[in-house]
Amino acid sequence: MSVDLSMSDAPTRREWVGLGVLAVGLGLIVLDGTIVGVALPAMISDLGLALTDAQWVNSLYAVVLAALLLSTGKLADRWGRKRLFLAGLAIFMGGSLLAALSTSAGPLIGARAVQAIGAALIMPSTLSTVNAVFRGRYRAAAFGVWGAVISGAAAIGPLAGGALTQWTTWHWIFLVNLPLAAIVFIAAVFAVPETRGGTPRPGADVDGALLSGIGFGALVFAVIEGPQLGWWTPRGEFTLFGWRWPSDAPVSIVPIALAVAVVALTLFVIWERHRERVRRSALLDLRLFTFATFSWGNVTAAMVAIGEFALLFVLPLYLINAVGLDVMGAGIVLAAMALGAFLSGAAARHLAVRFGAPGVVLIGLGLEVTGILVLAVVIHSDTAGWAIALPLVAYGLGLGLASAQLTGTVLRDIPVGVSGQASATQSTVRQIGSALGTAFSGAALATALALTLPASLSAAGIGGAEAERLADATRESAGTTIAQLRAQGDAGPLGERTSSAVEALASGFADATRWSMLFAAMFLVLGLIGALRLRAAARRSEEGSAAALDARHAADARRMPDAEIPPGA
């Protein structure tokens, strides 16, 4: 009698509901990573944020999340994934409330860190629970839901942020988390099953957690602060909690931070190898990277995240400040990406049947690269919103395809017992990518603005100290100065020259945005190369699995008596 293994793997109705609850919880924290972008101009104006402050509001969430995910993945395996999911929701709600009540840059950035702590407990718990509960052909469907939620929530964030900021205030992009997270919390208590990893090794890898946090934090700090503090020669003074790095120091603090990042991350790898040798609990099981699909999948995921968040940081600033759209208008334009992501996320599973999951990832990245290159071509200060939206649809289609199939491909060869750590590693890579995406795009924008703004002002006949003052103010305010001058009109300090100054600054800002888009495209091309290697690794894995299965069948046949061998076998 034959047994239908696919039916024995079938999830229960409660497990499907639990998947939906986990997906909504995941969507909340992914949404919070992107909802801020379109509201940043309003925050900059209301709270007096500088460009670096705005980058930290965006990036600190991802930096803290990346620094903690490896630790929380281990905790989820040891203490229970549902338990950490619930604790994370509670902390996330507290951070959201603090962010909504913030009245200056410091408290807002601190509140984003609290949100990230909660998100770090939520994210690995969702993916590892899915990996542990769903089996067989149902796992691919569950991973498709998980990937589609990531790409869709990230893409719809700007529209949600635009609507809330336009019709209420920017505070509501955080306040809306409170009722939503409370509903998810109650539903998770009843619908999400509790799962744990294998028997844990003794000890807690505190040193590994510190080294990874210092390394990732120093890396993102250097990229964000480089344009402001100087990549080598100091351009200004840096102070932190009373400690001061003077502007007349022989070298900027930025290369020092980069050196700290390299040393800390190198020591982290050495330390994790040592923990493995002595059979103690390690934050990162480096043996996971012996799976080629895991290694190349993570490289690809990092590049996708860098490209996505580079785009999501710069485009709202360009649309609102240079083009002159209102917050809701910018959100609607960026929603084109969400539309593409939702459409392709739903179709990705069907395409995977024909092309395979790695093939779908490759198609998705090809669409992303095409979309962002077309976007770079059409970006000007007077470009219509629909002309920006069209390439964003193509980009979103690619994003949905790549994200929906990448997750399952990365974890396809990973044993369930270490799925918590593997999923946390993948989530960490994504978050490092998103933090670096914001940091790189902000750095590219600031560097480009230093060149494009003076050139545009000079072409408009504005020079000298006045041009320098306008260029510096525009760069420091991430373009908000353009919107302020546009609103003042001839009544502003520039009088009748206001319109020509606005046109020059908007043109310079558009040129700098184009360079940021090309910089993001470079990382997506690297992701495309990684996807090619991922597909090759997946094929080798399939061939190896098929060969092992054939060998096992041959061994079984040799052990069977001749009378039991079916005719024609």
| Three-class SS state of 414 | coil
Q: For the CA atoms of the chain, what is the radius of gyration? A: 25
CB of 184 closer than 8 Å to CB of 34: no
- Cα(417)–Cα(180) distance, integer angstroms: 31
> Burial of 113 by CB count in 10 Å (0-12 exposed, 13-18 middle, 19+ buried)?
middle
Residues 6+ apart with CB under 8 A from 541: 291, 292, 293, 412, 413
* Residue 568: per-residue pLDDT: 43
* Residue 553: per-residue pLDDT: 46
- Cα(226)–Cα(560) distance, integer angstroms: 70
Q: Which domains does the chain have, with CATH numbers?
A: 12-194+281-453+509-547 (1.20.1250.20), 204-280 (no CATH)
* Residue 8: per-residue pLDDT: 52
- Paired tokens of 444: 């590219």
* Residue 7: per-residue pLDDT: 47
pLDDT tens for the chain, 569 residues: list them: 443 444 456 777 777 888 888 888 888 887 776 677 677 778 887 887 776 777 778 777 777 777 777 777 777 777 788 888 899 999 999 999 999 998 888 889 889 889 989 988 887 777 777 767 776 667 767 776 766 676 667 667 777 777 787 788 888 889 988 999 999 999 988 888 787 766 566 666 778 878 887 887 788 778 777 767 777 888 777 776 567 777 778 888 888 989 999 999 999 889 888 887 887 777 777 788 888 888 888 888 888 888 888 887 888 888 888 888 887 888 888 888 878 877 776 677 777 778 877 888 888 899 999 999 999 999 988 888 889 999 999 998 888 888 767 777 777 777 766 666 677 677 778 777 877 887 788 888 888 888 898 888 888 888 788 888 888 888 877 777 888 788 777 766 667 777 888 888 889 999 999 999 998 899 999 989 988 888 888 778 766 655 554 555 455 555 544 444 444 44
Q: Which residues pair with 244 in a beta bridge?
A: 239
* Residue 32: per-residue pLDDT: 76
* Long-range CB contacts (within 8 A, 24+) of 266-270: 267/211, 268/208, 268/211, 268/212, 268/215
Helices (H), 278-356: 292-317, 327-355
**pTM of structure:** 0.73
Angle at 357 between CA 437 and CA 130, to 5 degrees: 80
Listing DSSP states for 113-173 in one string gives HHHHHHHHHHHHHHHHHHHHH--HHHHHHHHHHHHHHHHHHHHHHHHHHHHHHHHS-TTHH
Q: Which of 533, 38, 487, 58 lies closest to 297 in space, CA to CA?
A: 533
> Burial of 220 by CB count in 10 Å (0-12 exposed, 13-18 middle, 19+ buried)?
buried
CB of 48 closer than 8 Å to CB of 171: no
